[in-house]
Amino acid sequence: MTNLKVIRTRIMSVKSTRQITNAMKMVSAAKLRKAQDAIIQMRPYTNKLRGILRDLDPDLKSIKKNIYSRETEPQKVLLVAISSNRGLCGTFNSNVVKKTMQIADEKYKLQNENGNLEIIAIGKKGKDFLKLKKYNIKESYTDIFEMLNFKNTLPIVTKIMDDFVNGKYDIVHLIYNQFKNAAVQLLMEEQFLPMTHRQKVEDRFEDRPYYIYEPAKEDIISELIPKSLQVQFYRVLLDSCASEHGARMTAMHKATDNATDLIRELQLQYNKARQASITKEILEIVGGAEALNE
């Protein structure tokens, strides 16, 4: 009977866990819908803005002269690692942390050893782990996803851009998860600064729209480039937010299914043990009755 009690207690525990994981799955699904709509609506705008810049200056002459395209030997490096504030989302956070550590330890090993590599951690999970591993965390932002909008992200990206212009950093990388669908997130490493606008040679001679400039083309480009960088940074955060909810929904869905399978196995085990216990009691009763008859 003790064995039956242990199995019954475990069944109740797994059922309780299944209720929690199922509730978390439903919450993440509701949040995912909103985050997915936001990133899907944002992508055409960012792509069009990038396309306008390409059309305005297909030969990159003006863009190369702008302050955000200054290319030098990367002596001072900034990595922006974008994770989440909560766990239970599969490999979402660990992938970002591992990629950040790989870049710091391999690609920019010399700069890291010399103390010329800094990390901005967006998200509590990434910040905690990188800090535990003794990486140089310059700043951390853990409340940005509570109310994610362009206005709230502007101070962060503006500071990064200003630090690059002032020569504090020679290169800036973004490490994040790009949203593909609810079940798939792509780990990305993007060079944010200096701004790259590379094109294939054959693309430069395609038919492009004819623009009438007012004011001058250089002035328009100088206004569009900072705007494009700010929008790109906001798009990356939207990608990460949607990816987080998708990863958590998928992880909790799998956890719920695993709990259901485990309950089924425990129930079968319980029934077998109960049947064996009943059979044993019947045998004891029959044996006792025969002993009395004799």
66-91 pLDDT, tens digit per residue, is: 788 888 889 999 999 999 999 999 99
Question: pLDDT over 90 for what percent of the chain?
Answer: 69
- Of 15-29, 220-234, 259-273, minimum mean pLDDT range: 220-234
9-64 pLDDT, tens digit per residue, is: 999 999 999 999 999 999 999 999 999 999 999 999 998 888 877 777 654 445 55
Tokens for 152, please give them.
């709230």
Query: Helix (H, G, I), strand (E, B), or coil: what is residue 192?
Result: strand
Signed CA dihedral, 87, 93, 98, 103: sign only? negative
> Which residue is listed with tokens 């990064």?
160
Which residue blocks in 138-216 are alpha helix, DSSP H? Answer: 150-165
The whole-angstrom distance between residue 123's C-alpha and the CA centroid of its chain comes to 9
Query: Which residue, 188, 191, 192, 190, is CA-closest to 95?
Result: 188
Domain boundaries, given as residue ranges, for the chain: 22-250
- Sheet strand arrangement including 184-193: 137-141, 117-122, 77-82, 171-181, 184-193
Query: Helix (H, G, I), strand (E, B), or coil: what is residue 111?
Result: helix
| 103: DSSP letter | I
Instruction: Check residue 202 and give its pLDDT.
Output: 43
pTM for this prediction = 0.87
The architecture that CATH gives domain 22-250 is 3-Layer(aba) Sandwich (3.40)
